[in-house]
């Protein structure tokens, strides 16, 4: 299947700092990427849909000014958690649409805010 | 997207077939059934998807009932590495996002 990578895989930061997470499609071009987060022992929750060259569409309850998404190319989408706080600690996962019907997921980024 | 119902957990003996059921009684005619699994602390892994016909690939088989109100994912010879949470998702696919429920936690027992 198609390969989606994320970087970094794990990040620890101090409260108030900003963290950028990269999501790359390695062997295909993705016009649409999705960002999810997963709290411990919970399921994945969609945060936003990222379309190349346009603004992201955020799910209800997700602050667009706090979670900045940029999809500047067909192989890269970035999620920046601005002014991170301990409650933002979570597992962040991106996925990319492949063809018409399939989505492939990245390995995830574990964010810990101290 | 239609809602799905799955058992919370299941056990399966190593080497035996694992049959994971999913109910999706409100599925619409153009919605697909997708299966993903998530091994602890990893991103979800695509397994298989189907619309009406049964599907098979190198990982699993997907059996969809004729009325499409339920389906079963079959792992023919479960191994310890198949221990994971399995998600059944109904979606139009394509640019539509996937809504994850609670899934079934499958434990393969030696």
Is the backbone peptide bond immediately before A8 cis, with ω within 30 degrees of 0? Answer: yes
Of the candidates A34, A102, A107, the beta carbon closest to that of B42 is on A107
B80-89 burial code (b ≥16 CB/10 A, e <16): eebbbbbbbb
The verdict on B102 touching A (C-beta cutoff 8 Å) is: yes
Mean per-residue pLDDT over chain B, rounded: 93
Q: What is the mean pLDDT of residues A41-54?
A: 89
* pLDDT the model gives residue A95: 93
Q: Which residues of A touch B87 (CB under 8 A)?
A: 43
Do the Cβ atoms of B42 and A108 come within 8 Å? Answer: yes
* pLDDT the model gives residue A29: 87
pLDDT band, residue A68 (cuts 50/70/90)? very high
Do the Cβ atoms of B45 and A105 come within 8 Å? Answer: yes
Q: What is the mean pLDDT of residues B67-71?
A: 96
> Could you tell me which residue, B90 or A101, shows the higher pLDDT?
B90
* pLDDT the model gives residue A76: 93
Q: What is the mean pLDDT of residues A16-29?
A: 94
The verdict on B32 touching A (C-beta cutoff 8 Å) is: yes
> Could you tell me which residue, A100 or B100, shows the higher pLDDT?
B100
Q: Which residues, 6+ apart, have CB-to-CB distance to B109 below 8 Å?
A: B11, B12, B13, B14
Q: What is the mean pLDDT of residues B49-56?
A: 94
pLDDT band, residue A51 (cuts 50/70/90)? confident
Q: Which residues of B touch A3 (CB under 8 A)?
A: none
Region for B83 from its dihedrals, namely left if φ exceeds 0, alpha if ψ lies in -120 to 50, beta otherwise: beta
pLDDT band, residue A5 (cuts 50/70/90)? very high
* pLDDT the model gives residue B94: 62
Q: What is the DSSP letter of A59?
A: P
Residue B45, min C-alpha distance to chain A (Å): 7
The verdict on A49 touching B (C-beta cutoff 8 Å) is: yes
* A94, containing H or E segment: strand A90-98
Scanning B78-97 for CB atoms below 8 A from A yields 87, 93-95, 97
């Amino acid at each position: 299947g198609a390969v989606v990578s994320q970087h970094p895989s794990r990040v620890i930061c101090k409260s108030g700092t900003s963290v950028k997470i990269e999501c790359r499609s390695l062997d295909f071009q993705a016009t649409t990427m999705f960002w999810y987060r997963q709290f411990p022992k919970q399921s994945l929750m969609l945060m936003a849909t990222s379309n190349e060259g346009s603004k992201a569409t955020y799910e209800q309850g997700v602050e667009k000014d706090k979670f900045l998404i940029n999809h500047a190319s067909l192989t890269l989408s970035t999620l920046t958690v601005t002014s991170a706080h301990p409650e933002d600690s979570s597992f962040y996962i991106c996925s990319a649409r492949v063809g018409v019907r399939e989505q492939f997921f990245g390995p995830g980024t574990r964010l810990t805010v101290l | 997207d239609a809602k799905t119902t799955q058992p919370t957990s299941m056990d399966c003996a190593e080497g035996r077939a694992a049959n994971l059921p999913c109910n999706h009684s409100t599925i619409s005619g153009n919605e697909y059934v997708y299966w993903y699994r998530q091994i602890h602390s990893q991103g979800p892994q695509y397994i298989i998807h189907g619309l009406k016909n049964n599907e098979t690939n190198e990982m699993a088989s997907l059996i969809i009932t004729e009325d499409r109100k339920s389906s079963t994912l079959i792992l023919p010879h479960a191994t310890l590495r198949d221990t994971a949470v399995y998600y059944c998702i109904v979606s139009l696919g394509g640019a539509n996002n996937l809504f994850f429920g609670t899934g079934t936690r499958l434990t393969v027992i030696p």
